[in-house]
């Protein structure tokens, strides 16, 4: 294992084309490139990287980027991506590389092992955490995923798509669909809000009474906020037409909250959307699927567990992602990683691996390896 640590200075930023199946997002926009170039930084965009999001090479080149091949994009000091490296990209990992992307290492331990073996410094968008506990780089994708969860669930409840033939909002004289959302974070709240706007009967469950109390002021329609418990899940899950899993433990694996026996008791043609699948899933029967083949039917229940849900709307998702990541990219590339974490201390919690060590407690627990304090790794 090499021992070099992150580069002292960063002059080049590389944006490779995403290779995860059905992933159409890109980690920078032309406007983002213009900001970086204006600071004297070199930006390398792999040819075709923005095509899926409706952003062509000419737009990036006009903004000041160099259009390069995959090898040159990965050879930059700082590589920014959307999703975790895929096995075909492991060979590009190296000790003097800083990688900034969504990692979800609890769900993808093989990626964690590759980062450790390569000695790469890896910063995960999803574990950058402010003092108030919020996750600023995860929030926009969680918002999109939550909204999509209600939209996808409503679609799958239609009979031509394998569902029970239930209109999510019902109609005059006919009850609406019952939607149960587990977890009242950004994903769950957005899923519940959209389902409520569709006139569904919605139950939003969370373990924190204080958090639910804060949401109560925004409650509208047929939305009921409930403090979650095992008994409540046992009563509500079998009655759900649509069950949405939306729990998150930053960096760690999602807890399994709905066991297989509860899924067996759900109505034939009902639907599960497990948004937590990128952290391992919170429904026992969930298995990661893709946008191309998104649904698996188990015990008569349709399971939608796409690991990169916001990839379904890559234009919206790319714009939303870059709006929050760009200030951090500027900080890391403009000042170097050590100065960047001093200026923006929330980046410390984003550090997942440095120089062959894991430096996030949740990730270390999920991978079953020792945890080191990130500042000890940086110095």
CA 26 to chain centre: 14
Q: How far apart are CA 240 and CA 355, in angstroms?
A: 47
Q: Which residues of 295-332 are buried (b: 16+ CB within 10 A; e: fewer)?
A: bbebeebbbbbbbbbbbbbbeebbbbbbebbbebbbbb
* 257-263, Cβ contacts within 8 angstroms, sequence gap of 24 or more: 257/182, 257/228, 257/233, 257/282, 257/283, 258/182, 258/233, 258/282, 258/283, 258/284, 259/284, 260/284, 260/285, 260/299, 262/233, 262/234, 262/237, 262/238, 263/237, 263/298, 263/299, 263/301
Catalytic entry in 22, 252, 278, 355: 278
Catalytic residue among 22, 77, 104, 206: 104
For 76, the token pair is 């930059």
What letter does residue 277 receive in the DSSP assignment? G
Long-range pairs of 126-130 with CB within 8 A, sequence gap ≥ 24:
126/102, 126/250, 126/251, 127/103, 127/250, 127/251, 127/349, 127/350, 127/352, 127/360, 127/362, 127/363, 128/328, 128/346, 128/347, 128/349, 128/350, 129/250, 129/346, 129/349, 129/350, 130/346
Phi, psi dihedral angles at 188 (to 5 degrees)? -65, -40
Closest CA to 155 of 190, 194, 117, 123: 194
Q: Is 131 in the active site? A: no
- In the residue annotation, 278 being an active-site residue is answered as yes
Active site residues: 104, 278
């Amino acid at each position: 294992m090499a021992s070099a640590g992150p580069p002292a200075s960063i002059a080049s930023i590389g944006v490779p084309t995403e290779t995860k199946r059905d992933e159409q997002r890109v980690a920078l926009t032309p406007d983002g490139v213009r900001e970086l170039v204006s600071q004297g930084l070199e930006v390398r965009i792999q040819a075709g990287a923005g095509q899926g999001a409706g952003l062509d090479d000419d737009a990036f080149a006009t903004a000041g980027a160099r259009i390069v091949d995959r090898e040159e994009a990965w050879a930059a000091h700082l590589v920014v991506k959307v999703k975790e490296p895929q096995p075909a990209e492991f060979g590009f990992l190296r000790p003097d590389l800083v990688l900034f992307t969504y990692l979800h290492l609890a769900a993808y331990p093989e990626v964690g092992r590759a980062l450790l073996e390569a000695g790469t410094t890896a910063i995960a968008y999803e574990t950058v955490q402010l003092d108030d506990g919020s996750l600023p780089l995860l929030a926009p994708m969680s918002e999109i995923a939550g909204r999509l969860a209600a939209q996808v669930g409503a679609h799958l409840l239609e009979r031509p798509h394998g569902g029970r033939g239930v209109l999510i909002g019902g109609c005059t004289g006919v009850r609406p669909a019952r939607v149960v959302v587990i977890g009242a974070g950004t994903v769950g709240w957005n899923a519940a809000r959209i389902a409520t706007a569709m006139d569904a009967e919605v139950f939003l469950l969370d373990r924190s009474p204080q958090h639910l109390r804060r949401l109560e002021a925004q409650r509208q329609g047929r939305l009921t906020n409930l403090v979650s418990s095992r008994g409540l899940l046992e009563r509500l899950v079998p009655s759900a037409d649509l069950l949405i899993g939306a729990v998150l433990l930053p960096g760690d694996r999602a807890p399994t909250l709905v066991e297989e026996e509860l899924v067996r008791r759900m109505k034939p043609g009902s639907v599960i959307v497990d948004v937590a699948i990128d952290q391992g899933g919170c429904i026992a029967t969930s298995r990661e699927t893709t946008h191309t083949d998104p649904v698996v039917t188990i015990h008569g229940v349709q399971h939608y567990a796409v690991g990169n849900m916001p990839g379904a709307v890559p234009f919206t998702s790319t714009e939303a992602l870059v709006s929050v990541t760009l200030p951090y990219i500027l900080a890391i590339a403009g000042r170097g990683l050590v100065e960047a974490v001093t200026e923006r201390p929330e980046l410390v919690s984003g550090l997942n691996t440095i120089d062959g060590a894991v430096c996030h407690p949740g990730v270390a627990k999920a991978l079953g390896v020792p945890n080191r304090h990130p500042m000890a790794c940086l110095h």
